[in-house]
Structure 1
Amino acid sequence: MNSEINSFPQVLTIAGTDSGGGAGMMADLKTMQECHTFSTGVIIAVTAQNTLGVQQSFMLPKEIIDAQFASIAADFQIRACKTGMLGDVQHVQYVVNNLKKYDFGPLIVDPVMVAKGGAILLTDEAISLVKQQLFPLATVITPNIIEAQRLVDQEIKDANDIKLAAKKLQDLGAKNVIIKGGHAKGQQVSDYCLFLDHTDLWLNAPRIITPRTHGTGDTLSACICSQIARGIPLKTAVHIAKDFINLAIKKTIQVGHGHGPLNHWAYQEVNKNAEL
């Protein structure tokens, strides 16, 4: 057998589509490609969506979800995977069952709850199941501050609250926790990282005032997933992901009339001679 088969880093995104191309699985695939990994996907939901919002969504049946997982497992050597929009409690359970059945390497969970336009992407019942069954499987979880508040049922006002919330999330079983600070106020965006070894760090960057931030959470988690698949240590991976996001927002592209998408090729364009 050819020893080079499946030697290239391969990753999996488990999420919903975005017909507008800026978020969800579309953002994941673009990010993973830019990070020099081969991306595969299990589609959980199909959305009619653009930069103005989510107009419709359709959750796929269990049979096709299970079949997608089986197809990926039968042919690819997935080194890391991530979840995005999972929708409702039934679909969270489908995903959990398959992740327990197949070994797809480290799992990054982006607990997507609400779209930029306000559409609910995860029901209350599903949130409970994510906490109980999905977080204990996760290597990294990446909630934003608003999601973290819902997950720990407490208001987050300052840095101490963020640290306390991260510890509570870790106590739910997630090994490493990143609470994203984009929804906070201030001239800086500060993301807090709490690691399995009990060390922590803040990732700080100047706030860029722009409506073109559609898909930031998907992109950050997909970049971390890709770096892990490439063998990059997690603490280095989060720094790369932060730089990737900052450039994707800063080097804007003018697409759509609402919450515009990121520039997913900005990092490569700026770092032409650097290896991601």
Structure 2
Amino acid sequence: MTLTGNSRIPVALTIAGSDSGGGAGIQADLRTFAFHQVHGTSALTCITAQNTLGVNRVDALPAAAVVAQIEAVVQDIRVQATKTGMLLNQEIIAAVAQQVQLLRLQNLVVDPVMVSRTGAQLIDDSAIATLRDALIPQAVIVTPNRYEAQLLSGLTIVTLDDMQAAAQRIYQLGAKAVLVKGGGMAGELRGVDVWFDGQHLETLTTSSVDTKNTHGTGCTLSAAIAANLADGKDLLSATKMAKDYVTTALTHSLNIGQGQGPVGHFFPLLSR
């Protein structure tokens, strides 16, 4: 009997919510992993009823169920990188932070899903405090958007200097690197990100893409960073490559539904 298959394929784990519309969350993460030829595993934290027009309902899973999913994956499969997305509440965040420590999950990418790009707070203050104090210090990189960076840094962010100051302040929370994303910024700063790793402060830019279909960009970016880390890339290279991937996916965004469509995660297949 002939055995086939690749036993050396990199593996990444996403701990996040389900997006029934398929544009963000677990669905976006797994597509992003697949694009990067990384096997995707998952632990669902919540189930949303949503589409391109918005979110109609959110149901949290019990923290114990989230823990069980993480344990099941890690006990059997060697995971090279992990990313977190929507963790929803304080109990789940605390449980995930504990699992990261107990299981020694490496290359943790934290997308601190706390505030939408429009500024709406998505989780309560106790959950934010636990995310800040228990999870972020274990991360190799944290990727806040403008409003999340304001919450984490205590600064008002309007200019590039503000983004740089926020990145340096957030770094003090313990992550090895910070990427303050500029997707929610105005004018020339839209899409400009600021990187800080304790030594290097760098502005990362790509070409701006004019599209309304940007749903899932934050999830996709953090998932792409995790995929690149699982594949052995260094942290800054993993981040730059992820940013390039998101930009290209935006140029192939999907005009589906009546609202804000998702990026084109599988753009090489869209030529048909």
State the TM bucket, normalised to the shorter chain.
Answer: over 0.9
Structure 1 pair 119/183, CA: closer, same or farther in 2 (3 Å)?
closer
- Aligned to 2:80, the other structure's residue is in SS state strand
In structure 2, how many angstroms separate the alpha carbons of the residues matched to 1:269 and 1:186?
32
In structure 1, how many angstroms separate the alpha carbons of the residues matched to 2:168 and 2:96?
25
Q: Residue 139 of structure 2 aligns with which residue?
A: 138
> Once the 2 structures are TM-superposed, how far is the Cα of residue 62 of structure 1 from its aligned partner?
2.4
Q: Is the 8 A contact 2:45 2:92 kept in 1?
A: yes
Q: Is the 8 A contact 2:117 2:147 kept in 1?
A: no
In structure 2, how many angstroms separate the alpha carbons of the residues matched to 1:24 and 1:118?
18
In structure 1, how many angstroms separate the alpha carbons of the residues matched to 2:185 and 2:120?
20
Q: Residue 192 of structure 2 aligns with which residue?
A: 190
What do residues 222-270 of structure 1 show as CA deviations (whole Å, max 9, x unaligned)?
000000000011121112111111111112222111111110022x469
What do residues 156-185 of structure 1 show as CA deviations (whole Å, max 9, x unaligned)?
121111111111111011110001101111
What do residues 4-23 of structure 1 show as CA deviations (whole Å, max 9, x unaligned)?
98521000000000000000
Matches within 5 A, 1:29-68: 29-68=30-69
In structure 2, how many angstroms separate the alpha carbons of the residues matched to 1:117 and 1:20?
19
- Is 1:214 the counterpart of 2:220 in the alignment? no
Structure 1 pair 182/200, CA: closer, same or farther in 2 (3 Å)?
same
Q: Residue 253 of structure 1 aligns with which residue?
A: 254
Q: How many residues align?
A: 266
What do residues 125-173 of structure 1 show as CA deviations (whole Å, max 9, x unaligned)?
1111111111110000000111101111220121111111111111011
Q: Is the 8 A contact 1:80 1:105 kept in 2?
A: yes
Q: Is the 8 A contact 2:217 2:246 kept in 1?
A: yes
Identity %: 38
Q: Is the 8 A contact 1:78 1:104 kept in 2?
A: yes
> Once the 2 structures are TM-superposed, how far is the Cα of residue 114 of structure 1 from its aligned partner?
3.3
In structure 2, how many angstroms separate the alpha carbons of the residues matched to 1:114 and 1:96?
20
Q: Residue 162 of structure 2 aligns with which residue?
A: 161
In structure 2, how many angstroms separate the alpha carbons of the residues matched to 1:151 and 1:118?
14
Q: Residue 85 of structure 1 aligns with which residue?
A: 86
In structure 2, how many angstroms separate the alpha carbons of the residues matched to 1:55 and 1:73?
33
- Aligned to 2:123, the other structure's residue is in SS state coil
- Aligned to 1:156, the other structure's residue is in SS state coil
Which moved further from structure 2: 201-210 or 167-176? Answer: 201-210
In structure 2, how many angstroms separate the alpha carbons of the residues matched to 1:152 and 1:99?
24
Q: TM-score of the superposition, structure 2-length normalised?
A: 0.92
Q: Residue 7 of structure 1 aligns with which residue?
A: 8
Q: Is the 8 A contact 2:117 2:184 kept in 1?
A: no
Matches within 5 A, 1:218-233: 218-233=219-234
What do residues 11-45 of structure 1 show as CA deviations (whole Å, max 9, x unaligned)?
00000000000001111011010011000001011
> Once the 2 structures are TM-superposed, how far is the Cα of residue 122 of structure 1 from its aligned partner?
2.0
Where do 5+ consecutive residues of structure 1 fail to align? 271-276
Where do 5+ consecutive residues of structure 2 fail to align? none
Q: Is the 8 A contact 2:10 2:38 kept in 1?
A: yes
> Once the 2 structures are TM-superposed, how far is the Cα of residue 206 of structure 1 from its aligned partner?
3.0
Which moved further from structure 2: 35-44 or 111-120? Answer: 111-120
Q: TM-score of the superposition, structure 1-length normalised?
A: 0.91
